[in-house]
Structure 1
Amino acid sequence: MRISRIDQLEQYILEHRTASIDALCEEFEISKNTLRRDLEILVARGTVEKVYGGVIACE
């Protein structure tokens, strides 16, 4: 479940190029703490970059 959610989260961000923390929490129905943990994994993968209030897809 967690791996699937992280992959879906990554795909969503790559498609939309940018997303806010609140929008991602609402879209995936997860808490901010869960989202932050998932985003750390995506940042480590190098596919997204955290910015103030959200994330952007890396080029």
Structure 2
Amino acid sequence: MLLYAQSGISVIFPFIINLKMVQEISKNSALLVDGTSIPISRLYYSAVKDKVNNLIP
């Protein structure tokens, strides 16, 4: 089950990230603007990528 919010998304249990704080994503992690690296599961990668890309103007 994917958890969506206006500006957040579940990337792997137990993490939910604020999409506005994502600096970069790779196949297995999201790098936040503060330098924190959060793992992204293969199950969630496509949804995270789509959501992050939709935020870019």
TM-score band, normalised by shorter chain:
0.3 to 0.5
Q: Which has the higher helix share?
A: 1
Q: Which has the higher strand share?
A: 2
- Which of structures 1 and 2 has the larger relative contact order (alpha carbons within 8 angstroms, sep 6+)? 1
TM-score normalised to structure 2 length: 0.39
